[in-house]
Structure formats: structure tokens, C-alpha cells
Amino acid sequence: MKKNIIVTGGCGFIGSHIVEELLKNKKNNIIVIDNLISGKKSNINLKNKKLKFVKLDISKNSKKFDKLFKKVDTVFHLAALADIVPSINNPGLYFSTNVTGTLNLLNACVKNKIKKVVYAASASSYGIPQKFPTSENSKISLMYPYALTKKLGEDLVLHWAEVYKLNVTSLRLFNVYGTRSRTSGAYGAVFGVFLAQKINDKPLTIVGDGKQTRDFVYVKDVAKAFLKSSNLKKNKKIINIGSGKETSVNYIADLISKKRTFIPKRPGEPDRSKADISRAKKLLKWKPSTTVNVGVGVMLKNISKWKKAPVWNKKSISKATKVWFKYLK
């Protein structure tokens, strides 16, 4: 069946993998909207005639923005700013992109009678979880402006579903990693940092003692979850997307390099992370298929991609996270 699809943030880390997955169906026509602040056009295949790229800032509503949604069936909304420290330094900018941008998108969806909206929410909404595995019904605890703005975006999406009868699904993403990840940001940061350090023969910077665990889920598995969500008829569902497993930072480091150095643990970061993915399994008939060992292996084969990435060290990390220690106590 032919579908016209919009992917906001489609040049970014996760968005570009969703675009790649969508292009496997030759009946899909895809519009990628991205302002290229963090995304790269090189992440998508611009030669594909089924793909149209539009450089646009979703926080600035315009007639051009509204026109893009005409005759569109499905919208995958990933456009967002996704860094913790910059969100503390400039909360207004994060509100503008993550909240106002989402509002503009939702209004365009209502006006053009979009059939389905899939929103990329964040597991940062759980703050420091008290129960493991962490379910969608767990307590919300917003530790910094990035988490707040992503949750406000989710609240808008669910409210617009209630009032304006949009069919929406919100996916709360845990620690997504894989190719095209950056060396900063909410998703995949530790992997990008480690790979840039390794290829430049520098020690890996381990936060705290490295025994803290995260629920790492491979980006291609995440992309498939988004596609399955677009076919979900049940409305207003919040669904965790993770691996359902805990992996320590030390374990990841062992897969990449023996050289390492340790830096102080940061306040506001959980010691553990483990998603309850039973809802994803039930509603989406989805579960991740890529192990951490396999996923890291793929990244190591593509390590040259991080050759020119910023290389962090103790001094630069201390300077960059100074505001973190000031406000998150």
C-alpha cells in the first residue's frame, strides 16, 4: 500500500535509520524535515527519488511547513534538541524546539487530517527509577530541562489525541546506540565518545566506577519499533523501547579498549537502567534482536566515521559538565 510519510529529524542518528528502513518499501514516499543543527544530509540517500529533503526549523511555524503535511498519511516526529548540559544553559531554546516545535507539528497534523503520529519520547522522564524493570506506569521524575521538554512534548501529543482525535503512539526510548551516533546527546553518547577516543589512541573516560548499568538498545531495532508503531490502531499508547537487559559501562568499555581513565560520577544520573518492554512485545509484536556484542562489533567496523569527532578527555569533560555539578545536586 502506498504511503506518504514525514520524518522530522530524519537526518539525525535515529531518524536516518527510520528513513533507511522506510525506503525498503518502494511504495513509500518520504519527506525528511531537518534543520541540520545536529543531523547530517550524508546520513540519508538523497539520490533516492522516493525521498525529499526539506531544511526547516519546526519551532518556526510557516505556510511552507503546513503545506508539507498535505496528503501525508503518517508522521514520525523525532526532531528535537537532545543534550543535558546545553538544556541547563539554554532552557528557552529547548522549550522552543521540543515543545513549541511539537505544538506546530500537531496543529499541522490536525489541519491535514494525518492518520498516524509516532512521537519519540524519552526514558529520561523516569529520572532515577526506583523499580526494575521500569514500566510505563512508573513515577515521572524530571531531572533537567531536556527531560522536562521531552515530557511536555509527549503530554501535548497525548492531549491532542484526546481532544482532536489524532491517532498517536509515544515511544519512550532508553539508551539507543549504533552507527551515526554523536559524541554528545541523549542517545548513543557513551559509544561515540569511546570510539572517538579509541581511534585517536586515547583512554576511555569512565564516569564513576563504571559499574552503573544502562539498557542499551540497537538503533536498527529501534527503527523497526517505530515502523511497527505506525500500524498500531490502539490510540494514546505509551510504550517503552529498550532491550529489557542491563549492561554495565565497564562491559562496553571492555569490548572497545583496555585503555581507560575514571572521572567523577555526575549527580542526577541513575545507577541502573532496565526497561520493562512487555507492552512493546504485546502491542507491537516487537523485541530487539541485536545483542550488545554484535552492535558494538558493527560500530567498531565503522570506527573510521568517528575519526574527526571531538575527542573528550578529563579536562574537557570537567569544563563541559561544570554547570551539571552546579545545578544537579
Active-site residue, from 146, 177, 187, 218: 146
Residues 6+ apart with CB under 8 A from 159: none
Kind of pairing, strands 247-248 and 213-214? antiparallel
Strands (E) located in 139-251: 168-173, 175-177, 204-207, 213-214, 216-218, 237-241, 247-248
Can 251 be counted among the known catalytic residues? Answer: no
For 54, the 3-state DSSP assignment is strand
For 154, the 3-state DSSP assignment is helix
CB 143, CB 149: distance < 8 Å: no
CB 262, CB 209: distance < 8 Å: yes
Q: Which residue has the cell 509516532?
A: 118
Please give the positions annotated as active site. Answer: 146
